Amino acid sequence: MSRITSFLGYTAAAMTIAAAVLTPFVLYGWLADGVAALGLRTDPAYSGGDVAYTIEKGAYAIAVHSPFVPPTPFSHTAAYVQIVWAPVSALPPQVSDEVDVDRDGVPDLVARFDVPQEAGAPLRLSVTSLGARVPSMADVGRDSFSSLITRIGDRIVVRVPLLPAE
């Protein structure tokens, strides 16, 4: 009797372990659909917010995101606007583009940067302010969360800090 009991016990233990290992794979689709149905979104402080509009420049495009303004005075993130150039493969070796941040029809800044061929090469950005909404910046890399330039896949992402509205 003890041999049968041991066999049944080990079989039940093996089946339990197999079920525990396989359950996430079997239920993953249902779990993913359930989480998606919750409507959760990445915080705009991290994602850069939604794209407000796109500027077509022939072979490449500039996506201007909605300006991010921290929701509370205790937020650790400064106000910024995210601007994305894509695809990198279509960009000229030196980019110099005017961008209208607040979509009032008047350019707010001129962004200038070189586009190296190597994907991992460091990028440096200069911003010339054309209005009171953004500061001028020189030789910016990944200086802070709200003032940076980086390459992500086939896109160059730029964040420019925003000055308080007057």
Q: What is the DSSP-derived secondary structure letter of residue 109?
A: E
Give tens-digit pLDDT for 45-95: 777 888 999 999 999 999 999 988 776 666 677 888 999 999 999 999 999
The structure tokens 């000229």 sit at: 92
User: How buried is residue 158: exposed, middle or buried, by Cβ count under 10 Å (0-12/13-18/19+)?
Assistant: buried
CA distance 138 to 112: 9
Question: Where are the domains positioned within the chain?
Answer: 1-40, 44-161
Q: Are 7 and 15 in contact (CB under 8 A)?
A: no
pTM value?
0.75
Instruction: Please report the DSSP string for 48-107 in residue order.
Output: ---EEEEEEETTEEEEEEPPB--SSTT-SS--EEEEEEE-GGGS-SEEEEEE-SS-SSS-
Give tens-digit pLDDT for 9-53: 889 899 999 888 888 887 788 878 887 888 877 777 777 888 999
